Amino acid sequence: MLQEDAILVLKTGEALSEVRAHCGDFEDWIARGLGRATEEVAVAAVYEGDPLPPTESIRAVIVTGSPAMVTARADWSEVSARWLARIVEGDMIPVLGLCYGHQLIAHGLGGEVGSNPRGREMGTVDVVLPEHGIDADPLFETGVFPGHMSHVESVLIAPRDARVIGTTAIEEHAVLQFGPRQWGVQFHPEFDREIMRRYVEARREILIGEGFDPDALIDAAVETPVLTRILERFAGMVDRGPADPV
């Protein structure tokens, strides 16, 4: 049963089975980052046919990553994209998209998603957040911080009114602000070092085929405390409510 008046985890797929068996699934990691038990967040597995709830029944939305591709235009994905676009355009509730979720929001708002011409981005990489401090934004600090990446598709063209907040060496739209309380991040703040290492190991043969060194990626994986904290800050913003200062 969908828990009402909670942060909704809009689940767009499952974590890789090899990772899930040891570490749990997206909703577990997201809840942990929010400072909540998994049972304290609502989950709608839209890729399995769960309905989208009325926005008045939830406090905020976090959209997960997925092994699916936004460009596949699955029915559940397209319906979710339109639903998210309405939320952003009406500034109804706070929204945070992660990886696939980031791309899905951008697609719903008229941006373009496709294969990154620079190729796959995998492992712990530097995310650059220029000229944008916590005093100006409730989620992000200014600086260069490690973040966990695992994606092939990217937001190639941002929606017209979106603001670029963060980049990486090969990702021009690593962080986008879509609306006053709506963001998307291409990285995974819900991952920890162990999850990232297991993702690399699960993709070992694919990565070797693409010219990557999986062992080097595993060795380079570190914890990402600054970018992980955006989940905690998102939860704090939701708990404060729209009338309180951020």
Among candidate residues 14, 27, 99, 173, the one labeled active-site is 99
- Cβ neighbours of 205 (radius 10 Å): 9
Among candidate residues 107, 132, 151, 188, the one labeled active-site is 188
Told to judge if 23 belongs to the known catalytic residues of this protein, a careful annotator would answer no
Q: Are 11 and 64 in contact (CB under 8 A)?
A: yes
Q: Are 27 and 43 in contact (CB under 8 A)?
A: yes
- At 196 the three-state DSSP class reads helix
Distance CA 88, CA 86 (A): 5
Among candidate residues 14, 27, 171, 190, the one labeled active-site is 190
Dihedral sign for Cα 102, 54, 246, 233, please.
Answer: negative
Distance CA 155, CA 46 (A): 21
Nearest alpha-carbon partner for 60 in 99, 101, 15, 120: 101
What tokens were used for 109?
Answer: 């708002």
β partners of residue 183 = 96, 177
Q: Which are the catalytic amino acids?
A: 99, 188, 190
